[in-house]
Structure 1
């Protein structure tokens, strides 16, 4: 009789199925035992490809970061920020359950560190002092991660009677949930535009100084 087919394991397949579990059931749902069951193998087989669950999470997170586009910095720093922020947000929104893990920073993840290096390099090469480049990267990340962590608009109940006379300035808040995706996206763009506009003013002021402070 033919031998039973044993599913082939590969790092790519392990990461893909691991991400599917996180996307469907949340970050805490991922375990080596559950992952092995989904892959149709014994848990011990996974350790030939990944040492720990923590290492696997870093590999999954690094894979998600490949969707983040930093090529805009080759044009100019404002294009770079817009492209980076929008693609970063899109990558996080596609995998919201992974956002809390990604929010801690790049750690030792190769792709994430390369993206951070490109952002910092793009800003400093444009003339931003090192300290400002660090703060701009942090500020943009706060905006992106905050936007991806949850929906502002979806948090309002759609019961019009709830607001009545007690909350007169929220008389149309019951409509927010229906248009949540659009409002949240537009709100992100508004905040991003405000950030970049403010930075452009700061950039001009720094440029007018003979010796800007680091």
Structure 2
């Protein structure tokens, strides 16, 4: 799997365009986010997603979330977006909320580990959003570490684990490390909190106007 790993500044438009071309070619790249550094592939390319699993040495039964370019991108991956999902997205995106929604049948099964749902988020960071916008669809993205190892907060920490495994690292300086996102399952009529993070159950309940478990 060894390859040359290049490092380019994340705020350079030419570097972003090169990153998108690599994604379109089925390559895996690393990038900053609003929490830690992420590693990304084209969400519509099953071979690229398999490569993403290999890069991270991630078990194939662990689904990979997607990061969106804008709120409307949900419709590119979700089979159905409930009124509750739209309310939560409009209230808390971009930011630390991940929504679990029914997945469109056309999405690669390897992305969702064969599940009928997919986890989606609009990050509060321009780099992954711009990658998704230029790609024309969400990016499959997870933390830029080997499975079970610490999540990296800098490009240097990415290289320490993934040098020779990814084609490109977009260096955006130290990541704005934060708490892992709140995850809400809105794939069924009754929303459920799967993980509480920066957005509390009380805030979720207030937006939806219902009690939530």
TM-score clears 0.5:
no
Structure showing greater radius of gyration is: 1
Task: Give me the TM-score of the superposition, normalised by structure 2.
Answer: 0.22
Higher strand share: 2
**TM-score w.r.t. structure 1 length?**
0.22
More helix by share: 1
